[in-house]
């Protein structure tokens, strides 16, 4: 359903890859019974938009894992080779920020604020859309779409022999190997210390713009 056109959808859900977009889609898909348009691209619309973003050091290293066989060690060569591709994604994020700057139909979600606090996320959605999420819905969301649950799905696919980031579960959109930890600053575990400065230099301007440094 996330591939449907926006015309018949209630919500546009946007975010750069590896920023918690799948988790957010799961929750919105549950709340709005599939009437969600999920995209990584720019769309000009008057419909409500819920946009999620994440520390670019974490999201980019997570993105690099998809293309790295030795996915627990993201070296300078892989970061360099994939940078232009991912930078285009951040440019789209910046376009959303500038285009919708003075509009009230967009809700910005900071990944680090909500990844372990679904109540905060749901409070924000309630306020933005002037709706109510019941206690029963909150309980089900926490049980079905937590990092722990999604990692269980990811690990199950991996144990079944699904290739890294190839096999995926249709209902959840979770891939084999989808989640490493999902923690803030997990990039420090995957990138050697002597490459930390290089990684930060790639996104220095955007990290400042989004107040990560």
Provide the CATH number for the domain around residue 122.
3.40.50.300
The answer to whether position 188 is within a domain reads yes
How far is Cα 78 from Cα 147, in angstroms, rounded to an integer?
Answer: 26
The answer to whether position 109 is within a domain reads yes
Can you give the pLDDT at residue 44?
96
Can you give the pLDDT at residue 174?
86
Please determine, for residue 88, whether its predicted confidence score (pLDDT) is greater than 90.
Answer: yes
Please determine, for residue 4, whether its predicted confidence score (pLDDT) is greater than 70.
Answer: no
Mean pLDDT of 64-88: 89
How far is Cα 213 from Cα 175, in angstroms, rounded to an integer?
Answer: 31
How far is Cα 89 from Cα 56, in angstroms, rounded to an integer?
Answer: 10
Main-chain dihedrals φ then ψ at residue 150, nearest 5 degrees: -65, -35
Can you give the pLDDT at residue 26?
97
What's this model's pTM, rounded to 2 decimal places? Answer: 0.92
DSSP-derived pairing of the beta strands 11-14 and 106-110: unpaired
The answer to whether position 163 is within a domain reads no
Q: Which residue has the higher pLDDT, 182 or 113?
A: 113
> Per the structure, how many domains does the chain have?
1
SS3 51: strand
pLDDT in tens, 17-51: 999 999 999 999 999 999 999 999 999 999 999 99
Sole residue written with tokens 């009437």: 35
Can you give the pLDDT at residue 70?
58
Q: Output Rg (C-alpha) for the chain, integer angstroms.
A: 17
The answer to whether position 54 is within a domain reads yes
Can you give the pLDDT at residue 43?
96
The answer to whether position 151 is within a domain reads no
Contact assessment for residue 198 and residue 79, using Cβ atoms and an 8 Å cutoff: yes
The answer to whether position 33 is within a domain reads yes
What distances in angstroms separate CA 24 from CA 16, 17, 36, 98, one per listed residue? Answer: 12, 12, 11, 22
Q: Which residue has the higher pLDDT, 69 or 80?
A: 80
Contact assessment for residue 210 and residue 111, using Cβ atoms and an 8 Å cutoff: no
Residue 23, domain extent: 6-145+182-209
DSSP-derived pairing of the beta strands 11-14 and 49-53: parallel
The answer to whether position 71 is within a domain reads yes
What is the percentage of the chain residues whose pLDDT exceeds 90?
A: 76
The answer to whether position 59 is within a domain reads yes
pLDDT in tens, 93-107: 999 999 999 999 999
Least reliable range by pLDDT among 64-68, 148-152, 167-171, 187-191? 167-171
Residue 27, token pair as written in the block: 């929750």
Contact assessment for residue 50 and residue 108, using Cβ atoms and an 8 Å cutoff: no
Please determine, for residue 127, whether its predicted confidence score (pLDDT) is greater than 90.
Answer: yes
């Amino acid at each position: 359903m996330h591939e449907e056109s926006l015309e018949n959808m209630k919500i546009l859900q946007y975010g750069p890859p590896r920023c918690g977009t799948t988790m957010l889609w799961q929750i919105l898909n549950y709340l709005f019974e599939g009437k969600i348009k999920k995209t990584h691209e720019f769309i000009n619309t008057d419909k409500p938009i819920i946009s999620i973003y994440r520390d670019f050091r974490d999201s980019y290293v997570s993105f690099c894992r998809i293309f790295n066989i030795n996915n627990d060690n993201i070296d300078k060569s892989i970061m360099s080779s994939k940078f232009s591709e991912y930078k285009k994604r951040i440019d789209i994020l910046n376009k959303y920020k500038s285009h919708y700057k003075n509009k009230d139909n967009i809700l910005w979600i900071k990944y680090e604020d909500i990844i372990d606090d679904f109540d905060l996320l749901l409070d924000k959605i309630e306020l933005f859309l002037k709706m109510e999420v019941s206690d029963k819905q909150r309980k089900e969301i926490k049980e079905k779409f937590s990092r722990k649950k999604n990692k269980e799905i990811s690990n199950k696919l991996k144990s079944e022999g699904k290739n890294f980031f190839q096999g995926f579960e249709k209902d959840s959109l979770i891939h084999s190997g989808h989640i490493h930890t999902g923690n803030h600053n997990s990039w420090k575990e995957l990138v050697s210390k002597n490459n930390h400065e290089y990684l930060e230099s790639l996104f220095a301007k955007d990290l400042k713009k989004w107040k990560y440094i």
